[in-house]
Structure 1
Amino acid sequence: METLYLLAGILLLVLCIIDFTWTTLWIDGGAGPITNRLSSSIWRLMRLIARKNSRLLSLAGPLVLSTTLLMWIVLLWVGWTFTFAGIEQSVSPSHGSDPVSWFDRFYFAGYLIFTLGNGDFSPLEGPVQIISIIATATGMLFITFGVTYLISILSAVTMKRSLAVSIHGLGESAEEIVRSAWNGEDYHDLNLLLASFSENLGSLAAQHAAYPVLHYYHAIDNTTAMPTAITVLDETLSIIKFAVPEKHHPNQLLLKEMRSSIDQYLDTLNQSFFKPSEEIPSLPDFHSLRNEGIPILLEKDYTLAYQQLETRRKKLLGGLEADSRPWPTDLK
């Protein structure tokens, strides 16, 4: 029986260390296998419970993060408890000679992991003392990397919402931004903004790849919602690139870099958070833009271009649906 306890303890510790290291240290690995399944399950449950309630759904991110941390603690703690239970007479009371119970082993393992000491119990002289040091080391590493992981995520969430606010500050729909950015001659005024947005979005995409829990941080207010902001921005660039004559475009390199950054962001999300929608979003209101004096290509030209954008726009709509948000439309 002790051998089974020891094997169970080692298995739990290995699972915990692999999942923890995978999630916190492997930048390109995304979430560990246990964390990924746990996060997805919590998100689906929260969407089922919250439905269209954004305030309730906004609890999903903090819940996923706290549950993940708790899961690691439980695996580490229980794993070391079973490990010490699997080693004959591994723990003895510092005073007295009462038999060691399961609760005593649980207490001893927790004391080693979180307080750097032995408490009222001490390890058996020999290999168990080395094992106790290893247990303490895993606890120190868990606390250090866990805090770093937590701070990194909260910083990324702040950056994500700040970028969304900046994009929404230009307009709540693609048509609105296209109208407001038109200076009467061209869209060169967008150059500085495109450079800034591209850099920030590239960093955000890398953070989403490194910390998949960011996918589950749902914003209550639409102005801080990144899925809506990305959709509005990409639709704005699509209108300018495929429906406005090229001589009026912003800097071509900046335009290409911005769309590449959006591609990178969408590909990061598409791996685990959402699937492209089966529906095709409606076309922008090109007639209202033409009525505003903005030069728009012939309908046959931009219609053909938008047929080639169907897969991309399905991804955008899929991201909105995963975040329980509608496709942004022009309210003018």
Structure 2
Amino acid sequence: METLYLIAGVLVLILCIIDFTWTTLWIDGGAGPVTKHLSSSIWRFMRLVTRKQSKQLSLAGPLVLSATLLMWIGLLWIGWALTFAGLEQSISPSNGTDPISWYDRFYFAGYLIFTLGNGDFSPMEGTAQIISVIATATGMLFITFGVTYLISILSAVTMKRSLAVSIHGLGESAEEIARSAWNGEDFHDLNLLLASFSENLGSLAAQHAAYPVLHYYHAISNTTALPTAITVLDESLSIINFAVPEKHHPNQLLLKETRSSVDQYLTTLNPAFFKPAEQVPSLPDFHSLRGAGIPLIPEKEYTSAYKKIETRRKKLLGGLEADGRPWPTDLN
């Protein structure tokens, strides 16, 4: 039986270390297998019980993050407790001669990984002493990396909200942004904004790839919702790129770079979190754009161009649906 405990403990520790390292240190790996399953399960449960109510759904991100940290701690704790249970006479009480119980093993493993110092028990001389040092080292590393992981995620969430507010400041729909950016001659006023948006989007895309839990941080207000902001921004750039004559475009390199940053963001979306929508979103209101004096190419040409980006627009809509939000429409 002790051998089974030892094998079970080692397997639990290996699973914990792999999942923890995969999630926190492997930048391109996304979430570890256990973390991915736990996160998607909590998200589906929250969407079901909250019925996509933004205020309640906004708790999903903190719940996913808290549950992930607790899961790692629990696996580490259980793994070391089983390991010590599998080592014959590995623990001795500081006082008395009572037999070691399961409570004693969990207590001993707990104060080792939480580095609480000396407790009522000590490791027996030999292998148990070395394993105790290793257990303390894993506890210190997990706590240090866990705190760093937590701070990085909260910082990225703040950046998400800030970028969303900046984009929504230009307009609540693609048509509104296009009308606001039109200066009567061209869209060159967008150049500085596109440079800023592209840089921030690139950073956020990298953070989403490194910290998949960011997908589950749902904003209460639509103004701070990044999925809506990215959809509005990308749709406005599609209007300019595919429906407006090229001579009126903003800087072509900035336009291409910003759309590439949106592509990178969509690529990072976890398949467990989102899937492209089945239907294609409706076309922008080009009539309102003509009414604002924005020159457009012939309808047949931009309609044909929009057919080529249907997959992209389905991804944008899928991201909105996963976040429980509608496709942004022009209200003017």
Asked whether the two chains share a fold, i.e. TM above 0.5, the reply is yes
Quote the offset at 1:329 in angstroms: 0.3
Quote the offset at 1:116 in angstroms: 4.4
Q: Is the 8 A contact 1:181 1:187 kept in 2?
A: yes
Q: For structure 1, which segment, 283-292 or 263-272, has the greater mean C-alpha deviation from structure 2 after superposition?
A: 263-272
- Unpaired stretches in structure 1, ≥5 consecutive residues: none
Q: Is the 8 A contact 2:212 2:270 kept in 1?
A: no
1:247 matched residue in structure 2: 247
Quote the offset at 1:309 in angstroms: 1.1
Q: Is the 8 A contact 2:188 2:251 kept in 1?
A: yes
2:57 matched to 1:94? no
Letter in 2 for 1:132: S
Q: Is the 8 A contact 1:116 1:136 kept in 2?
A: no
1:330 matched residue in structure 2: 330
1:319 matched residue in structure 2: 319
1:40 matched residue in structure 2: 40
Q: Deviations over 1:200-258 (max 9, x none)?
A: 00000000000000000000000000000000000000000111110000000000001
Quote the offset at 1:52 in angstroms: 2.6
Q: Is the 8 A contact 2:178 2:236 kept in 1?
A: yes
Letter in 2 for 1:2: E
Letter in 1 for 2:109: A
1:223 matched residue in structure 2: 223
> 2 CA distance for matches of 1:117 and 1:93?
15
Quote the offset at 1:273 in angstroms: 2.2
- Unpaired stretches in structure 2, ≥5 consecutive residues: none
2:158 matched to 1:166? no
Letter in 2 for 1:255: L
> 1 CA distance for matches of 2:177 and 2:325?
20
SS at 1:330 equivalent: coil
Quote the offset at 1:98 in angstroms: 1.1
2:55 matched to 1:55? yes
1:115 matched residue in structure 2: 115
2:235 matched residue in structure 1: 235
> 2 CA distance for matches of 1:291 and 1:87?
80
| TM value normalised by structure 1 | 0.99
SS at 1:92 equivalent: strand
Aligned sequence identity (%): 84
Aligned pair count reads 332
Quote the offset at 1:91 in angstroms: 0.5
2:211 matched to 1:202? no
2:25 matched to 1:21? no
2:137 matched to 1:137? yes
Q: Is the 8 A contact 1:12 1:76 kept in 2?
A: yes
Letter in 1 for 2:257: E
> 1 CA distance for matches of 2:312 and 2:105?
56
> 2 CA distance for matches of 1:59 and 1:196?
30
> 1 CA distance for matches of 2:6 and 2:117?
22
Structure 1 runs of 4+ off > 6 angstroms?
Answer: none
> 1 CA distance for matches of 2:273 and 2:205?
13
1:259 matched residue in structure 2: 259
1:156 matched residue in structure 2: 156
2:16 matched to 1:5? no
2:186 matched residue in structure 1: 186
SS at 1:115 equivalent: coil
SS at 1:158 equivalent: helix
2:307 matched residue in structure 1: 307
Q: Is the 8 A contact 1:112 1:135 kept in 2?
A: yes
2:282 matched residue in structure 1: 282
Q: Deviations over 1:153-176 (max 9, x none)?
A: 000000011000000000000000
Letter in 1 for 2:119: G
> 2 CA distance for matches of 1:218 and 1:304?
35
> 2 CA distance for matches of 1:291 and 1:127?
81
Letter in 2 for 1:210: A
SS at 2:122 equivalent: strand
